[in-house]
Amino acid sequence: MHSLFEEVDFQQSAHSEPNTKIILELMESEQIESEWLPVLQQLVDTVLSTPLDGKALRLQQIMAAQRLTELEFLLPIEVLDAPTLNRITQRHDPLSAHAGDLGFHAVQGMLKGFIDLVFQYQGRYYVLDWKSNHLGDDPAAYHPQRLGSAMAEHRYDLQYQIYALALHRFLRSRLAHYNYEQHFGGVFYLFLRGMDGRGDQGVFHTKPSLALLDELDGLIAGRELAQRASKAGQMELDL
């Protein structure tokens, strides 16, 4: 499903000749029977016409020049430990607090990833991730209130926090007068199987706080560790 939305022209119907050609080529490469063409065309049109913000923001408005597909990012990690990460994310993000603690050994190195889609709309930039998860046959499984549970179960909260930090850093380096509140629109996770084109069904939307991103940035850059070491040294001197 991801490939469909990477290739099609958002501003044209999936039934248009160019988009139909793209879809058929992708179906052939994936060995999908031609009888599925109408189903995939309907899926594409439904997703692209859905008002993601419940108002006017629809992907069918986004031009090719306003899209960055599979944006690669590299985040150098000075040090990353689970207890500090849990403390930061759970303090600033209710979804992380609900999801519980992550457990892993402290890591260093380079974190490499790809954001499915970054797009620009009315001067704001958004992270978008396509999800093909089957959450159940009942449409209620894709209601926004239920999506939070799926997001927490799969720890997509940490994923979108990292994506948001990557885009935050990217925009900070590219826009001369970058302001997070002004230029960063938020994060969308689209659960494609549950979208109906009419509202927020299958649509998860959030915007991490700047405080969260600043602390997460400091953690992976080693500033958090340096501050703790400085405080520990100060305590020793005071003693």
> Catalytic residue numbers?
129
3-state DSSP call for residue 94?
A: helix
Torsion of CA 180, 145, 143, 52, to 10 degrees: -10
3-state DSSP call for residue 65?
A: helix
Cβ neighbours for 171, distance < 8 A, ≥ 6 positions apart = 125, 178, 183, 184
| Nearest residue to 66 via CA among 11, 119, 7 | 119
Give dist(CA 179, CA 181) in Å, integer.
6
3-state DSSP call for residue 199?
A: coil
| Nearest residue to 51 via CA among 206, 195, 181 | 195
Strands (E), the chain: 67-80, 107-121, 124-131, 184-191, 203-206
